[in-house]
Chain A
């Protein structure tokens, strides 16, 4: 079986190489049939990778420990769902998944756009093929998932904390996001190489970018939720290099999604957009590199491995070649229009772009700083939480405010007088909210108060937009208010889907501000029968139980929780001691108040032999808004993604009118 997997991957490598060489030759010489054949090779590479993936999945399901990979990542009694998730659990498997998704996305994107963008596609195929050659080379020669050994009795199993439903989905979403960013990159580069620098590559990849971006966002929230419930230190994000690795491409992709609109509407920012796409793709490669190379000190450090230098070389190649191509096409990328005023929709989007880019570059600097300082001063200096928090506030808060301003400012040129009228209501709402919160004592954290005030402002503008639009629809003859509302969204999915996503970001900001700026913590060592107080919660430590489960001994402390006069029932917190893995893990107790979004979060830090327990308790206001934001984010992304034949036709029509240059 392993031979089949290995052979299939060699075939994938061969087909990708062929797609690269033949595709490039066909594009250069203008050979149509050769271009077809290169395209088909890319599609065939997907199927041979699929065969290889099938072999690995079946080996996992059969617990075939003669596969080194299977023996290392699973064990006999691992539940089936986690056994399958071991596919992307280890390095070799996740590289295979990269290749599978890459060839799949590439084939689909190329086939879907083959008719109306043929002159682009001939150049897009070799770009996809280059990336596919790199990854198939890695799984064939450097990190093969099909290495074999004499079969041991049982596999090594999976780290207990990873046996969690969120961990099933979190890596997959991240990979869909990382790989998805290859599509806009390949099309952008294809457009540049072919010299057809019109807006078609944007139209062809808009949805792909949205899917990749949404997957990356959802993936990160799933990871945060996992960290919150399973790792159990009382937080959900720690600015760890590996977390940053996913955040950076997401921020750059967010910037791109916005600046694309300016290019579509006004033909501006062409160079900028191409650069953003190249940056986003390079960062997604860099993210994979960071997680897999162990080059930075991270609590996540995976196995140190030999793929690091290969990745660095490939990132270098991607950046150099792309920039060279951009440079060569600079004259064609000159935009026909100019920014007319610093107070306009275009300008607002540009500020948004600058802030997003500044934030991700600040994060990048923080990630590489230990390496830079090691090289320059011979001593690795680590930038801590305060560094990142600082930049999140400096760049994040203005971004939040801009999210309310941008969509309501007129294109081209807006007057200050206009702005005052437009933002009369939202400003009023924001100031009132700020004043009320100040009276309620939110002044304890200035950034928190500012975040809340800005959030109120943005929410007010979003509500205003929906109200205004629905009214207009009703006036235009919609029969009912709900009818007017739904036709409003249906007719302009991108815009209103975007507003829903904005609302999700507001929820996220409020959740983060609430749980980080206004949280409280208490610690106490309690014997049975003693109690502690945090805020208006009272926790009484009642009992300590020990249970023996199949794979672990579970120790649980039971606490009775009351708030004021209300009895809120009991909460359990404790530890699991895993027998085979010889690991202890905290099992935290969380009580969520669905009405206020507040969590009571209990960690049993230390359990002594005499039955006394050292508890660490957090009250985290509004933290549940973060998870709610995830759902709203998904809804907004789906609305924006939903196929809209009319809009697609219009865009295609417009690019037809622009005309396609006749010569190469």
Chain B
């Protein structure tokens, strides 16, 4: 080729550029990620986190008026520390004491204040229903 233009090189450049773009764009919004932690790791944290835990009763309040209040403890952990949670907004069907849930929010004055509508429940294992010896 007389013009010395090498399209193969162009293609490689494009690929590299695309890959670079992905990472640049990613780092530019890296703040969008939230750490996912267990209730026992919450103490002393001030930023936004995603809290995954097991619902401990009693569940009080109204999620559409003043907020629902309950506690969360570690899933499967030996620790008994639990964190009080206040939550407002949609409550998924599967929410109840003993279920695993995930909420976004932050710790304020010793209470984990969840973002409204952020709760998701984990299916208690999709196709496998209660087994004997299951505590819930």
The residue that B129 contacts in the complex, of A302, A525, A581, with Cβ under 8 A, is A581
Q: Is residue B18 within 8 Å, beta carbon to beta carbon, of the partner chain? A: yes
Interface readout for B90-133 with A: 1 if CB under 8 Å, 0 if not? 11111000000010000000000000000011110111111100
A303 touching B125 in the complex, CB below 8 Å, given contacts A362-B26, A391-B25: yes
Any B CB within 8 A of the CB of A382: yes
Q: CB within 8 A of A358: which of B7, B22, B120?
A: B22
Complex interface residues of chain A between 328 and 363 (CB less than 8 A to chain B) = 338-342, 350-351, 354-355, 358, 361-362
A551 within 8 A of B: no
Point out the residue from A159, A365, A525, A603 that lies within 8 Å of B127, measured CB to CB: A159
Docked-complex contact B122 and A381, CB < 8 angstroms: no
Rounded to whole Å, the gap between the CB of B39 and the closest CB of chain A is 14
On chain B, the residues within 8 Å of A157 by CB distance are: 129
Residues of B within 8 A of A369 (CB): 33
Q: How far is the CA of A292 from the CA of B25 in the complex (A)?
A: 31
Q: Is the CB of A382 within 8 A of B33?
A: yes
Q: Is B135 in contact with chain A by the CB < 8 A criterion?
A: no
Q: Are A72 and B122 in contact (CB under 8 A)?
A: no
Question: Which of B26, B34, B90, B128 is in CB contact (< 8 Å) with A381?
Answer: B34
Residues in A neighbouring B131, C-beta threshold 8 A: 156
Chain B residues numbered 19-41 whose CB sits less than 8 Å from any CB in chain A: 19, 21-22, 25-26, 29, 32-37
Q: Is B59 an interface residue (CB 8 A)?
A: no
Tally chain A residues at the interface, Cβ within 8 Å.
59
How near does chain B come to A248, taking the closest CB pair, in angstroms?
14
Kindly report which residue of chain B lies nearest to residue A302, judged by CB atoms.
Answer: B126
Residues of B within 8 A of A301 (CB): 122-123, 125-126
* Residues of chain B with a CB closer than 8 A to A342's CB: 7, 10
A574 to chain B, nearest CB (A): 12
In whole angstroms, what is the CA distance A350 to B10 when docked? 11
Contact status A381-B94, CB under 8 Å: no
Q: Is the CB of B50 within 8 A of A382?
A: yes
- B93 contacts A299, CB within 8 Å? no
- Complex interface: chain B residues within 8 A of A379 (CB): 35-37
User: In the complex, are the beta carbons of A302 and B7 less than 8 A apart?
Assistant: no
- The yes or no answer to A586 lying at the interface (CB within 8 A) is yes
- Interface size classification for chain B: 35 or more
**A386-B32, A390-B29 known; A606-B127 Cβ under 8 A:** no
In the complex, what distance in Å separates the CA atom of A71 from the CA atom of B62?
A: 38
Q: Tell me the residues in window 355-399 of chain A with beta carbons closer than 8 Å to chain B beta carbons.
A: 355, 358, 361-362, 365, 369-370, 373, 379-384, 386-387, 390-391, 394
Cα of A391 to Cα of B15 in the assembled complex, Å? 17
Q: State the CA gap A435–B52 with chains docked (Å).
A: 47
Q: Are B93 and A583 in contact (CB under 8 A)?
A: yes
The 8 Å CB contact of B123, one of A300, A341, A383, is: A300
Whether a CB of chain A sits under 8 angstroms from the CB of B2 is: no
A339 and B8 contact, CB distance less than 8 A: yes
Closest B residue, CB atoms, query A232: B93
**Neighbouring A residues of B34 by C-beta, 8 Å:** 381-382, 384
**A542 in the interface (beta carbon within 8 A):** no
Q: Which residues of B contact A351 (CB under 8 A)?
A: 14
- Kindly state whether residue A237 has any CB partner on chain B within 8 Å: no
CB <8 Å contact, A299 and B33: no
State whether B93 touches A584 (Cβ < 8 A).
yes
A605 at the interface (CB under 8 A from B): yes
Whether A648 is near chain B, meaning CB under 8 Å from some CB there, is no
CA distance A157 to B64 in the complex (A): 33
Q: Do the beta carbons of A583 and B7 come within 8 Å of each other?
A: no
Q: How far is the CA of A386 from the CA of B125 in the complex (A)?
A: 27
With both beta carbons as reference points, the residue of chain B lying nearest to A369 in the complex is identified as B33
- Which of A156, A297, A575 meets B128, CB within 8 Å? A156
Q: Do B127 and A386 touch (CB < 8 A)? A: no
Give the number of residue pairs across the A-B interface with Cβ within 8 Å: 124
State the Cβ distance, A63 to closest chain B Cβ, in Å: 16
Partner of A340, one of B7, B22, B65: B7
Main secondary structure of the interface of A (DSSP, over half): mixed
B118 to chain A, nearest CB (A): 10
Cβ-defined contact, A339 with B63, below 8 A: no
How many angstroms between the C-alpha atoms of A156 and B131 in the bound complex?
8
Tell me whether A390 and B33 are in contact (CB under 8 A).
no
- B43 interface contact, C-beta 8 A: no
Contact, CB under 8 Å: B33 / A381: yes
A614 to B123 Cα, complex, angstroms = 24
**Whole-angstrom CA separation of A365 from B10 in the bound complex:** 26
CA of A612 to CA of B18 in the docked complex: distance in angstroms? 54
Given A342-B7, A365-B26, A606-B64, answer yes or no on A297-B52 (Cβ-Cβ < 8 Å).
yes
Closest Cβ of chain A to B108, distance in Å, is 21
Q: Taking the complex as formed, is A89 at the interface, i.e. its CB lies under 8 A from any CB of chain B? A: yes
Using Cβ atoms and an 8 Å threshold, which residues of chain A touch B121?
299
Contacts of B128 in A (CB 8 A): 72, 90, 156, 303
Q: How many angstroms from the CA of A162 to the CA of B33 in the assembled complex?
A: 31
A585 contacts which of B93, B126, B127 (Cβ < 8 Å)?
B93
Residues on the B chain within 8 Å of A73, using CB: 127
Q: Which residues of A600-618 have CB atoms within 8 Å of chain B's CB atoms?
A: 603, 605-606, 614, 616
Contact A383 B33 (CB under 8 A): yes
State in angstroms the CA–CA spacing of A373 and B30 once bound together: 12
Chain A residue with the shortest CB-CB distance to B41:
A379
A362 contact set on B, CB distance < 8 A: 22, 26
A533–B115 Cα distance when bound, in Å, is 26
Q: Does A233 contact B (CB under 8 A)?
A: yes
CB distance from A585 to the nearest CB of B (A): 5
Q: Are B29 and A387 in contact (CB under 8 A)?
A: yes
Q: How far is the CB of B30 from chain A (nearest CB, A)?
A: 9
Contact A354 B93 (CB under 8 A): no
B18 partner, pick from A72, A156, A340, A354, beta carbons under 8 A: A354
> A380 — nearest CB in chain B belongs to which residue?
B36
Q: Chain B residues near A21 (CB, 8 Å)?
A: none
Could you say which of B7, B50, B92 has the most chain A C-beta atoms within 10 Å of its C-beta?
B7
**Min CB gap A191→B, angstroms:** 23
A401 touches B (CB below 8 Å): no
A158 at the binding interface (Cβ < 8 Å): yes
If the complex has contacts A233-B90, A301-B122, are A159 and B129 also in contact, measured as CB distance less than 8 A? yes
Q: Are B126 and A159 in contact (CB under 8 A)?
A: yes
Q: How far is the CB of B10 from chain A (nearest CB, A)?
A: 6
Question: Is the beta-carbon distance between B123 and A299 smaller than 8 angstroms?
Answer: yes
A-B CB contact pairs (8 Å), 20 listed: A72-B127, A72-B128, A157-B129, A159-B127, A301-B123, A342-B10, A354-B14, A355-B18, A358-B22, A373-B33, A379-B36, A380-B36, A381-B35, A384-B34, A387-B32, A391-B25, A581-B129, A583-B93, A603-B90, A606-B91
Which residues does B use to contact A, with CB under 8 Å? 7-8, 10-11, 14-15, 18-19, 21-22, 25-26, 29, 32-37, 50, 52, 62-65, 90-94, 102, 120-123, 125-131
| Among all A-B residue pairs, the 10 with the closest Cβ atoms | A339-B7, A156-B129, A381-B33, A380-B36, A303-B125, A585-B93, A614-B64, A382-B36, A383-B33, A386-B32
Give me the interface of A with B, judged by CB distance under 8 Å: 72-73, 86, 89-90, 156-159, 162, 233, 297-304, 338-342, 350-351, 354-355, 358, 361-362, 365, 369-370, 373, 379-384, 386-387, 390-391, 394, 523, 525, 575, 581, 583-586, 603, 605-606, 614, 616
